[in-house]
Amino acid sequence: MYVTIPDPGTIAAPLAPLASSTPKPAEARLRPGAFLYYEGDEVDWLYQVTSGVVRLTRLLADGRRQVIAFGYPGDIIGFPADGQHHTDCETLTDARLQPFRRAHLETGEGDPVLHSALLQAALREISAMQDHFMMLGRKSATEKLASFLCVLTDRVGQDLGNYRQVKLPMCRSDIADFLGLTTETVSRTFTQLRKSKIIAIDQSHTVIIQKPTALLGLSLGDLD
């Protein structure tokens, strides 16, 4: 999950498990805070998140951290480069993950449908990351957070009569490290959105979108 301008074609894509004629290995079930893999690990499996949320991070020597992506149901995670993982992957909630052998991506291994689905997921990932570049490089704190909330709501939000609601399983510093901000700035930007009645917040981790149009406007750069 990257923060991109909402695009019905990809963002709201149905979360059907990848088509495959191959018998699947058993789904993995993980508790919150479990690590699925670490940066530098050999890649043996890719995973499709089937439920829950995971977090992909990369660290700098001095401790600075970048959250690369959040993995939501439907997302494929664990693409190898030179055979290795290049991020850490930790679960934020209870999660279930469907593993796929790396060979299905790299050699096809007798299942062209699965091979093609994994390849397409990799290509969509490249495009989504390009959107995220624009965000990290060129957007203000308000635009970043508004974009984040819009995309998340489109993907996993629930309708609430006039309003929409979205649960945030990640903490403020995860959001900050994803958007290239500090927790303080994320917090302040949340209260700013709250004070202008665009959102309401329930117990820090539930956001009610009271003015979806205004929020979308902010995400696109309509003067704050």
Contact between 33 and 64 (Cβ < 8 Å): no
Among 72, 173, 208, 214, contact with DNA (rule: CB under 7 A): 173
Q: How far is the CB of 156 from its own copies (least distance, A)?
A: 21
> Judged by CB under 8 A, does residue 14 bind its own copies?
no
Decide: is 173 part of the binding site for its own copies (CB under 8 A).
Answer: no
Residue 122, number of CB atoms within 10 A of its CB: 13
List b or e across 177-186, with b for residues whose CB sees 16 or more CB atoms inside 10 angstroms.
bbbbbeeebb
> Which of 22, 35, 38, 130 is close enough to bind its own copies by CB under 8 A?
130
16 binds its own copies, rule: CB under 8 A? no
Candidates 25, 42, 205, 220: give the one binding DNA (CB under 7 A): 205
Q: In Å, how far are 1, 99, 205, 210, 218 from 68, measured between CA atoms?
A: 9, 20, 20, 28, 23
* Site for its own copies contains 188 (CB under 8 A): no
DSSP β-bridge partners for residue 11: none
Residue of 24, 134, 197, 205 interacting with its own copies (CB under 8 A): 134
Size of the site for its own copies (CB under 8 A): 44
Give the three-state DSSP class for 147.
helix
Tell me the helices (H) and strands (E) count for the chain, helix number first: 6, 12
Residue 172 partner contact from DNA, its own copies, none using kind-dependent CB cut-offs of 5 to 8 Å: DNA
Among 73, 99, 108, 217, binds its own copies (CB under 8 A): 108
Report the candidate in 149, 169, 166 with the shortest Cα–Cα distance to residue 214.
149
Site residues for DNA per CB under 7 A: 140-142, 171-173, 180-188, 190-191, 201, 203-205
